[in-house]
Each structure stands twice: as C-alpha cells, then as structure tokens.
Amino acid sequence: MDMKKFSFRRIPKPRQISIFTPLLVVAYLCGMYTVTFRRRHRILSMLTVALNIVLVLLCGGCLVVLVLCEALSLPEKLSNGTRTIASLYQLTFDLGELFLVVVFFVFGSRAFRRFRKMYKAYGMKYSYASGRKCFVLIVLIFLAYVLWQSCIFLVHDDNPTFGFTSACNGSWASFWVLQKITTTSYFKSLAGFYRSQVIAIPFAFYLTIWFSLYVQARHFVIALAKRKPENLSLEPEVIEQFRLRHAELCDLIGCSNGVITHVIAAFYGAGIPCVLFILHGLVYKTLSYDEFHSLMFLFFGFSFDITIITITGAMLNLKMHEPLDCLYKVNIDSMEGKGYDVVSAFISRLHGPPIGFHLYHLSTVDTSTILMIGGTVLTYALVIIQFQLRANTTGDHIDVYFNKSV
C-alpha cells in the first residue's frame, strides 16, 4: 500500500448531533437560511420575499381605499371602520413578516454562521456541549408552534370581516380571478401554513439560541458557586479564569445579537401595534361572536410571542449577573498579588452595561422591559376604555336633552 496516498485519504469522523441541526434542516427547506448559498435556496428565499411584498401591497392598497371611502363619506358597507382596523393590523403584520424574511436572507445566515463557530469553539474549550439532549425537544416545539400558528391564521382568514381574503375582496382594485383564488380552501390552508412558518422559523431561531446560551450561562454559574468564597480568596488565579470565561460568554451573546436583535425588532415592532389594534377593535366596535373569537385568537397568539421573548431575555440577563452574589462574599483582605484588581475588574463588568439581548443597542431586554411593555398595553387599554365610557355618557346626555326638548 502506498503510504503517501494513504496519508492524504480522508478518514470520516463521528458526526455529532448539534442543537441547531433540526432547525437548519427546516430552514433549508423553507429557503430562509442559505448557509451554502445554493441556487435552490436562493430561489426559495427570493420567492418568499416576493410573496411577502405582494401581501403588503394588497393590504396597503386595501387600506388606502378604505380610508378614502371614509374620507369621501361613501356608502356604509365600504366605509366600515372595523375593516380599517383590520387593514391596519394586516399591513403591520405583513410588514413584520417582510422584515423578517429580508433580514434572515441578507443578514441572518452570515451572523448565524459566525455564532455557530464561536459556540463550537466555546464548547470545545470548556468541554461542555448542551445540544444532544434537546434534539427531539426542539423538533416537537417547532412543529407544535407551526401547527398552532397555522390554526390561528386559518381561523383569522375564515372570518368574513378580519380575514386576508376579505381585505383583498373589499378593495376596488381586486379582480374576479383574485377573488376566486383567495376564497378557495386550498389557498387559505397554503397561506396559513406559509405565514406560520415565516413567523415560526425566526421564533425557533430565537428559542434555540437562547436555550444554548442560557444552558452555558447556568453551567458557568454552577461551576463558580461550587468554589467556596473562602477558597476563592486564596486563589485569585481561579477568579481570573472565571472572569475570562465570563468575558468569552459575553462575546458569544454579543455575536448572537446579530440574529436575535432583528427577531426582537420584528416581534416588538409588529406585535405590539397589532395587540393595540386588536384592543381598539374589541373595545370600540360591536363584534359578532365569530369576529370576537378570531380577534381573541390573534390577541393571545401575539401576546404569547412577545411574553416569551421578554421573559426569556430577562432570564438570560439575570443569569449573566448572578456571579455578583458570589464575588461579594470574597474576602479581599486575605488576597495576595493582583487578586484585588481581578475582583474589581470582574465586579465593574457586572455593574457596567447590561448583558443580554438588545434591540439595536437602544435597550437591553431585562426585567424593566417587562414592566415597560406591560405598562404600555395596560395604559392604552385603560385610556380607550375611559374614552369609550365618556363618549357613551355624553351621547346618553345628548339623547336625554333632545327628548326633553321635544
């Protein structure tokens, strides 16, 4: 046997199942992650972007027509305020979908490739991998989420007032062929599944990245807590090792923000206005049972997404700041050498800029974000309820005045 040829032979290595494998397989099929830049993936991604642009243009045209109908005081069936709220909701939601698809096609693939390399290097350095145990769990969560979102969109599109089909058919610009296509059950099912995967894939990216980072942060805190404070006082070099490991974990979170920040911006930027539109429609309009049922499904769907993103981001932020509890118990007087400088540098970083997922460096998702979003929605609900009660009371007084005059 020629040993020279044998030395250049590629010996297959055992393949490890990563936590990102099931997610990437689904993203390949949907065309929303082009890690290999193959032609079929680029074509699928471009078709996804084109379909989202068509949805945005249709709903935007419907919104313009309805607003003009109200401004020109045309017949009541065309100038329906409920449909205007539905068009505003639909336009906001489709803009969020378009933003997600474009961001994942242009920026998401590159940022996620960098994150995977850094995550693999971090796991090999500290010999701790967290992906094998949750392979099946990630797949089940993703499939359940897609099924749930598909059911929500099917209920929403079947509604005669708030569905996408009625938004297209209620416009003067719609054609007979478009009406026939959009009213078929096959189109509704396909559109519901398509729109659900456009939301579910970025949401699954968020959950997977968050889970991988949270497990690493939790493992770091457990390893630090096993070292008793009195032992750390005598071993400043151990504190330096933990500080460097914490710095690498912060760099890993910063790299993940290249993907996460776009997901947070899309869900906050589109989800919160949609929730406010739904609250406005529920408070101000007289809705039938089907309309109320459809709106409540949408309200709970968006509330679930925003709540999960906010709570998980706050959990990661708290976990990254937990080493403070251990460092405060270290006896600095018994330290020798540069131990005091190491502890001071570690504490200064933990008291410095917030660590976690951020929204384009404007704000970091932490516990204050929960109060901010909850307070915004609650304040808006109280204000519109108060204005509605005041308008009803004023109308009753006017009716009583005119009845007495007559």
Cα–Cα distance for residue pair 307/304, rounded to 1 Å: 5
The answer to whether position 155 is within a domain reads yes
Q: What is the pLDDT of residue 179?
A: 42
The answer to whether position 406 is within a domain reads no
The tokens describing 46, both together, are 């471009």
pLDDT in tens, the chain (406 residues): 444 443 333 333 334 446 666 666 666 655 555 554 556 656 666 666 676 667 666 666 666 666 566 555 544 444 444 556 666 766 777 777 778 777 776 777 778 888 888 888 888 887 665 555 555 666 666 666 666 666 665 555 555 444 444 444 333 333 333 444 444 444 444 455 556 566 777 887 888 888 888 888 888 888 888 877 666 666 778 888 888 899 999 999 999 998 889 889 888 888 888 788 777 777 776 555 666 666 676 677 778 888 889 999 999 999 999 888 888 877 777 676 677 788 888 888 888 888 889 988 888 898 888 888 888 888 888 888 877 776 666 554 444 444 445 5
The answer to whether position 197 is within a domain reads yes
- Number of Cβ within 10 Å of residue 3's Cβ equals 6
Give residues with Cβ within 8 angstroms of 105, minimum separation 6: 32, 34, 45, 46, 48, 49
Q: What is the pLDDT of residue 313?
A: 92
* Residues written for the chain: 406
Element (H, E) at 174: none
The answer to whether position 405 is within a domain reads no
Structural domain count of the chain: 1
Collapsing DSSP to helix, strand or coil, 176 comes out as helix
The answer to whether position 393 is within a domain reads yes
- The DSSP string of 114-134 is HHHHHHHHHHHHTT---SGGG
DSSP conformational letter for 105: I
The answer to whether position 87 is within a domain reads yes
Q: What is the pLDDT of residue 293?
A: 67
Cα–Cα distance for residue pair 17/23, rounded to 1 Å: 12
Task: Confirm if 316 and 357 have CB atoms less than 8 A apart.
Answer: yes
- The DSSP string of 341-364 is HHHHHHHHHHTSS--S-BSTTS-B
**Which of 94, 194, 207, 89 lies closest to 141, judged by CA?**
207
Full domain range(s) for residue 117: 16-398
The gap between the terminal CA atoms of the chain, to the nearest Å, is: 114
In terms of Cβ atoms closer than 10 Å to its own Cβ (0-12, 13-18, 19+), residue 27 is buried
**Which of 26, 45, 29, 33 lies closest to 143, judged by CA?**
26
Enter the pTM of the model: 0.75
Q: What is the pLDDT of residue 311?
A: 92
Cα–Cα distance for residue pair 269/374, rounded to 1 Å: 15
In terms of Cβ atoms closer than 10 Å to its own Cβ (0-12, 13-18, 19+), residue 346 is buried
The answer to whether position 164 is within a domain reads yes
Task: Confirm if 359 and 349 have CB atoms less than 8 A apart.
Answer: no
The answer to whether position 10 is within a domain reads no
